[in-house]
Every structure is written in C-alpha cells, then in structure tokens.
C-alpha cells in the first residue's frame, strides 16, 4: 500500500483506482538547486518553513524567486512584544500590560499567566509572516525538551522560550551553553540539585546523548561510541554548583542562575578515551562553559553531524541512508563547523539545495498538530477579533481544546527527547496520525468549515472571501486547481480533479453551471450568495478531508 492509499484508508476515503507507484530515491546533494522555480517549489519551501503559507505569500515567492525568498525567511527580526494580561480577573492585573517580570506569588497568578502564555504562543505562530523563526523556535523547543509540568512558573517558561527564539538561527554552541544554566533546564533536569556532595547525572547525560553528540552504537559496557558512563559521571561533577535564584524585592521579578562555589566539585575530572582522555580542571563559574567547549572542540564533526541530521529530518525527510549522510549531512556539518557553529548559513544552504526540492520530499511529511491548526487559520484568513481580551481568549481555547487533544502541547513534550515523530523509528511523522488524533483533526477542520463558537465568537471559514482571492474564480477548473495548489502539497490526479469539480458543479456535469452561478452572484449577491457559498464550501470541505491535506 502506498502513502496516498494508506492515508486514504485512515481517513475513510474511497479511492479504489489509485495506482501503485514506485518511490524513487531522494536526491542526495547539498549542491544548489537549479531546476524549475514555480508554484510547486515555492509553496513547498513555505510549507516546510512556516506554519501555513497564504496564496498571496506563495505567489510572491514565485515572483521573488528562491534566493530572495530564502533571504526573507532567514532575515533577522525584532523580538515580539511579550504576553500580556487579557482579563481583569487576575488579582491586581491591568489588561494589556505584561506579567513576565511581575512580582508576586506564583500560586496565585500562574493560572492567568499560563492562559496568557498559551494565547501569546498561538499568536506568534499565526502572525509569523514569511519567516522561519517560529519553525526554528519549535525545533529548539523539541531539541532541548523541557516540560512545563516540571518548570511550573510561566515567567520562567517565557524566559526559556525567549532564549530559544532569540537564538533560533544563531550560534549553536553558545545556545548549548545558555541552555545549560537556564533556570528552566536547571529545574527540569535537576541541575539545581547537582552538588559536589550529591552529583546528579541527568543533565550531563542528556547534554551528550540528546543535545550534542547522540548515543552511538554500544561498543562495550558503558561505552556508547560517542561517550561513556565515565564521561557522564565526570561531566556531572564539572556542572555542579548551580542553583536558581529569584528576587522580587524591588517589585520586579528576576529569575537567574547562581553559581555557588561551595557546592562545586573542584577536583580535576578525568574523561575517557572517547574524549582522548582529556581532563577538566576546576574553573569555578566558567567550568560549564569549558565543558561545552571541550565537547565541541574534541567532537566537532560528531556534534555538527548530529544537529544537521536533526535539521534535515525537521525540514526535509526522515530518511537518512548512507548516501544522504555522505552527500547532504556531512557537507552540512562541514559548513556548520566552517561557520563556527552558526546555524543560519546551514539553513540557507539546505533551503537552496537539490535535496530540499527533491520531488520525493514534496508532500512526504505529515503535518504536526500546530501546522494543521495554524495552517487552517492562516490560509483561510479566519477572522479573530483583535481586542486583546477576545483574541487571547480564543487563541488560548484553541491551544487547550485542539492542539492538546491532537497530542502536541507546545510547552509539554512527552519526554526530554521531544516528540516521537522526530526520532522514533520507523514511524517518524506518521506517529501524528492515529485513531484518536485523526478524529480530532477532522473535528477541528469540520468546525472551521461549518462554524464554531470559541470564546463566545463564531469562527468560520469565509469561503466567499476566500473565493475572491483566487485568480480565476469564474472557471470551475481553475477553482479546483488553485484551491489544490493552496491547500495540498501534491498535484491532484485527473480523477481527483474530476471529483472535486463534480462537487463544485453539484454533479451538473457542465462548466456553465458554475460560470453562470458565479456571474449571477456578482450581479445579485443577495440572491445567489447561499447557492454559491453552499457549492464552494462543500468542495472545500471535501478537499480538506483528503488524505493529501494532512501532508506537506
């Protein structure tokens, strides 16, 4: 069973005439892409780098070309305004003012902060524009997985997310350093309780296994090829002495990492043969930085290939065979090292590469729940009131009522390794689709097509406004083609196009049915609005129920 048939079965679709096809090998090169640049390539680029491109953004990308669009995607942006209170129910809150540095008891206000933070997060995704920053922020949130169920304080969670966003395309080595002593990570992986008298190995292990080196094949007892158990023990000692400090005595809440020398192991740490038997001498408050430098200096190629492999899986495809390793991953890693571990040049090269635009990569990835939900909101420009109280309340409800049931809570990855879709063999992205999440996806789509009250406001796809954005809304063939271009990653088969047009034409079998209806609508909107809305809405609903809509 091929991919299309498999997803059609999952979605309950009947497509008996779908033919089996042989999947060709992925293009295995980081060399610049020099092929055709059109709507298929432009939309593929934007689907992979944003949470759902609009038709206007796709057309602009075609006009501007690949190089200019990639430049726009990776351009530096000012940091967004912080989240704010949106309800006057919070004690002492002033609607529209931020809470990120508010002094006060966490237990009293954290519920309000949490709701605001969720809404603000969804707003960042929806308002991302043509920028890769939000996709990269989520990448790092997945890579440096921290669960809110442990960190608890939303002021601390905002600080952590802000760190990832600010460094989304920056210096990977420096980001590892900053994450190492960030209060959220110190809390999550027990760094704050890692002392010379009671060393805690949690962060030391994940620093190597999940954040920088990866866990290689077992070469012997306690030897994972990339590091050993001895290295875990010794690096844990080197990272002792940190705790979390908070201060709100001036009325402004400050949270930071504090080094306490009396809690630090000052002995010389002896690493294994995996690190050339290197030693780490006591350097007090700077020893954590020395640890990261040592890993990156002695294991530069391993570190670079490890993170580049994750970037490739995030943006291109889960398959990484020997040829892709040699011709894509290794060149990416070499580029990363040559640029002192700056991420931006690597991302730029990847997004301009032959590998990225390989036909087998297009439409090969299952949308994650955030891409599914935000994509619908963005591509159909679903209107949400802009006053902060209503906007935040609606976006908060979408976060809690729809993303969480689809099994992707932004600030609560299931493990420190992140979401299984990005590392669990052999399913990878297909993990997003199961008997529970499929129903939840269909539920959200159906509610946006047919209208749903959320936060006291009816949200609904305005299909007539959407129809008006098409280049040739009077031609039923063009309507089907354009909608498919906007909503689906692959060109439809003729059989699928015929089915969509039959729905649009209400099985009239003649293009003139739609042409006459459309021009009658233009001449007398009030008289024909219901009919044209019904036909077009039914076709949109059918297209959104296709298996291909779950892909990107």
The reported pLDDT for the residue numbered 356 is 97
pLDDT at 10 over 70: no
**pLDDT level of residue 4 (50, 70, 90 thresholds):** very low
The reported pLDDT for the residue numbered 15 is 41
The reported pLDDT for the residue numbered 7 is 46
The reported pLDDT for the residue numbered 108 is 77
How many helices, marked H, and strands, marked E, lie in the chain?
A: 25, 6
C-alpha distances (whole Å) from 277 to each of 22, 123, 230, 272, 538 are 50, 49, 11, 5, 67
The reported pLDDT for the residue numbered 152 is 75
User: Looking at residues 516-536, what average pLDDT do you find?
Assistant: 97
Q: Which helix (H) or strand (E) holds 452?
A: strand 452-454
User: Looking at residues 338-362, what average pLDDT do you find?
Assistant: 97
The reported pLDDT for the residue numbered 24 is 55
- Please report how many Cα atoms fall inside a 13 Å half-sphere around the Cα of residue 179, on the Cβ side: 28
449-467 burial: b if 16+ Cβ within 10 Å, else e: beeeebbebebbbebeebb
Q: What is the torsional sign of CA 415, 416, 422, 424? A: negative
pLDDT at 148 over 90: no
Tell me: the pLDDT tens digits for 74-117? 999 999 999 999 988 888 889 999 999 998 777 778 889 999 99
Exposed (0-12), middle (13-18) or buried (19+): which is 408, by Cβ within 10 Å? Answer: buried
Residue 117 to residue 154: CA distance in whole angstroms: 7
Contacts of 34 (CB under 8 A, 6+ apart): none
Task: Report residue 63 as tokens.
Answer: 């006009």
**pLDDT level of residue 462 (50, 70, 90 thresholds):** very high
Tokens 């949308």, located at residue: 367
User: What percentage of residues in the chain have a pLDDT greater than 70?
Assistant: 95
115-137 burial: b if 16+ Cβ within 10 Å, else e: bbbbbbbbbbbbebebbbbbbbb
- Candidate from 80-84, 147-151, 443-447, 532-536 with smallest mean pLDDT: 147-151
Average pLDDT for the chain: 93
The reported pLDDT for the residue numbered 217 is 92
User: Looking at residues 297-317, what average pLDDT do you find?
Assistant: 98
Strand ranges for 248-316 from DSSP E: 254-259, 269-270, 279-280
Task: Report residue 53 as tokens.
Answer: 């491109």
C-alpha closest to that of 357 among 7, 39, 14: 39
User: Looking at residues 288-293, what average pLDDT do you find?
Assistant: 98
The reported pLDDT for the residue numbered 18 is 36
The reported pLDDT for the residue numbered 12 is 40
Residue 7 to residue 434: CA distance in whole angstroms: 11
**HEC string of 60-91?**
HHHHHCHHHHHHHHCCCCCCCCCCECCCCCCC
Residue 298 to residue 342: CA distance in whole angstroms: 18
The reported pLDDT for the residue numbered 251 is 85
Q: Which helix (H) or strand (E) holds 459?
A: strand 457-459
pLDDT at 13 over 70: no
The reported pTM is: 0.94
Cβ atoms within 10 Å of 225's Cβ, excluding its own? 15
CB 315 within 8 A of CB 350: yes
Whether the ω angle into residue 363 lies within 30 degrees of 0, i.e. cis, is: no
Tell me: the pLDDT tens digits for 111-138? 899 999 999 999 999 999 999 999 999 9
- Candidate from 84-88, 178-182, 538-542 with smallest mean pLDDT: 84-88
**HEC string of 327-367?**
HHHHHHHHHHHHCCCEHHHHHHHHHCECCCCCCCCCCCCEC
User: Looking at residues 5-31, what average pLDDT do you find?
Assistant: 52
Tokens 């190089």, located at residue: 67
**pLDDT level of residue 22 (50, 70, 90 thresholds):** very low
68-77 burial: b if 16+ Cβ within 10 Å, else e: ebbebbbeee
Cβ atoms within 10 Å of 222's Cβ, excluding its own? 14
């Amino acid at each position: 069973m091929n991919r299309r048939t498999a997803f059609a079965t999952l979605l309950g679709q009947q497509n008996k005439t779908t033919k089996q096809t042989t999947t060709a090998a992925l293009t295995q090169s980081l060399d610049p892409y020099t092929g055709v640049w059109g709507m298929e390539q432009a939309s593929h680029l934007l689907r992979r780098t944003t949470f759902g491109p609009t038709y206007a953004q796709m057309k602009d990308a075609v006009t501007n070309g690949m190089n200019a669009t990639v430049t726009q995607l990776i351009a530096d942006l000012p940091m967004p305004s912080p989240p704010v209170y949106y309800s006057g129910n919070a004690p002492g809150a002033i609607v529209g003012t931020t809470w990120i540095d508010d002094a006060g008891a966490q237990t009293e206000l954290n519920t309000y902060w949490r709701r605001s933070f969720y809404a603000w997060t969804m707003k960042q995704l929806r308002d991302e524009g043509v920028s890769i920053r939000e996709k990269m922020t989520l990448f790092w949130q997945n890579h440096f997985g921290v669960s809110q169920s442990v960190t608890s304080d939303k002021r601390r969670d905002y600080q952590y997310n802000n760190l990832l966003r600010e460094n989304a395309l920056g210096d990977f080595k420096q980001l590892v350093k900053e994450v190492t002593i960030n209060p959220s990570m110190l809390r999550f992986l027990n760094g704050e309780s890692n002392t010379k008298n009671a060393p805690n190995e949690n962060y030391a292990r994940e620093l190597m296994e999940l954040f920088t080196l990866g866990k290689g094949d077992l070469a012997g007892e306690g030897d994972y090829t990339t590091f050993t158990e001895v290295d875990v023990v010794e690096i844990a000692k080197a990272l002792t002495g940190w705790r979390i400090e908070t201060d709100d005595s001036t009325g402004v809440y400050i949270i930071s990492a504090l080094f306490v020398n009396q809690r630090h192991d000052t002995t010389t740490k002896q690493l294994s043969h995996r690190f050339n038997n290197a030693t780490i001498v006591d350097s007090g408050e700077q020893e954590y930085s020395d640890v990261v430098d040592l890993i990156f200096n002695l294991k530069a190629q391993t570190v670079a290939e490890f993170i580049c492999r994750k970037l490739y899986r995030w943006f291109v495809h889960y398959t990484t065979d020997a040829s892709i390793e040699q011709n894509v991953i290794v060149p990416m890693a070499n580029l990363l090292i040559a640029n002192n571990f700056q991420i931006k040049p690597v991302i730029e090269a990847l997004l301009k590469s032959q590998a990225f635009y390989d036909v087998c990569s297009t439409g090969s990835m299952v949308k994650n729940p955030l891409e599914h939900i935000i994509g619908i909101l963005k591509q159909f420009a679903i209107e949400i009131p802009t006053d902060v109280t209503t906007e935040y309340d609606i976006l908060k409800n979408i976060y809690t009522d729809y993303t969480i049931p689809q099994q992707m809570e932004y600030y609560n990855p299931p493990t420190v390794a992140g979401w299984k879709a990005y590392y669990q063999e052999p399913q990878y992205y297909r993990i997003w689709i199961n008997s529970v999440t499929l129903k939840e996806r269909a539920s959200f789509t159906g509610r946006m097509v047919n209208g749903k009250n959320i936060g006291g406001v009816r949200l609904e796809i305005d299909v007539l406004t959407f129809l008006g954005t098409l280049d040739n809304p009077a031609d039923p063939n063009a309507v089907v083609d354009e909608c498919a271009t906007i909503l689906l990653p692959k060109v439809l088969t003729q059989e699928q196009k015929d089915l969509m047009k039959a729905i649009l034409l209400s099985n009239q079998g003649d293009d003139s049915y739609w042409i006459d209806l459309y021009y009658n609508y233009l001449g007398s909107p009030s008289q024909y609005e219901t009919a044209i809305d019904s036909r077009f809405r039914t076709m949109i609903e059918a297209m959104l129920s296709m298996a291909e809509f779950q892909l990107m």
